[in-house]
Structures are given as C-alpha cells and as structure tokens.
Amino acid sequence: MNKRFVIVAMLTASVPAIATNLPPPSRTVYKCEVDGKVHYSDSPCVGAQKVDVTPTRGMNKSTGRELTGSDVRREVFRDQLSDAVRPITGMNAQQLDQAGRRMKLSSEAQVACRQLDQALPLAEQAERAAQGSSALKAQQLELFKLRKRYRELGCD
C-alpha cells in the first residue's frame, strides 16, 4: 500500500510539470499526405491543407432549451464583450483574442506575426493559382516555411 501511495504521489506531482511544458493549444490543424497516407497535425507540412476545426457552441434539445458548457458561455461572453469594444479597437472577437495571446510575445515577434498575417493569405492564394507541378511545389515549400515560422513564433 505504501509503495502505491508514493508512486501515485510522484505521478500526481509530475503532471503539472509536464503540463506546463506543453505548447499552447492551437485551433489550426493541417491535413498532410505523406507516402500516400493522410495524417492530421498542428504542425505544417509541405503541401498541407488547413482544416477548419472550430468547435460547435452547444446543442439545443427538442424542447428548445440550450445546452452549453461553461467554456461556451465564456466564449459567448467574450464575443459580446468584443462586439461592445469593437468601435474602440476595430477588432472582431477572433482578432481581439489573438491580440491578447500575442501580448506575451516580444515586440520583435509581434511585428513578425503581423507580417506573417499578411504574407500567409498571399502565399495560400499563390499556391491555388500555381500552374505546373514545379511551380506548385515551389509555392507549397514557401507556404510551409511561412507556416512553420508562424508556429515557431507562437503567433497562433
């Protein structure tokens, strides 16, 4: 019994330490195909396709009663708050949330993130417009580099 208690205590004590070393969660998921096999990851790969993984906001019963968890209620509150301050900030809920997450980054990283915010959509558009396999591969490689840098900086 005593050994089990010590092991459980050690595991319990190590969980917060392990959890603090994890990267922040990301809602950006990439669909990658490698050697004919498809896998999904939060890390970009060459030729990756972005997948929309925005969670739903609860479910309504047939009675019309809304079933939402506390996380959804917090998100709805943040959306309402961002709508209230939009005339001042000029940002929607997602932009305001992103700005809050980026506040902990260095000023150099914040500038780089803003530049990548502009470069990524252009690179995605160039990938869609690429003609020929060599041009497509070059655009995919460029997009991969930008997405990798975006993730390394913590711009999510």
pLDDT in tens, 16-39: 444 455 555 556 788 888 888 888
In a domain, 71, yes or no: yes
In a domain, 73, yes or no: yes
Range of the domain at 96: 59-101
In a domain, 152, yes or no: no
Q: What is the mean pLDDT of residues 123-139?
A: 92
pTM of this structure? 0.61
Distance separating alpha carbons of residues 82 and 92, to the nearest angstrom: 6
Closest to 98 measured CA to CA, from 86, 85, 81, 113: 113
Type of residue found at 147: R
Phi, psi of 110 (to 5 degrees): -65, -40
**pLDDT digit string (tens) for 71-96?**
778 888 888 888 888 888 888 888 88
In a domain, 78, yes or no: yes
In a domain, 96, yes or no: yes
In a domain, 37, yes or no: no
Number of structural domains the chain divides into: 1
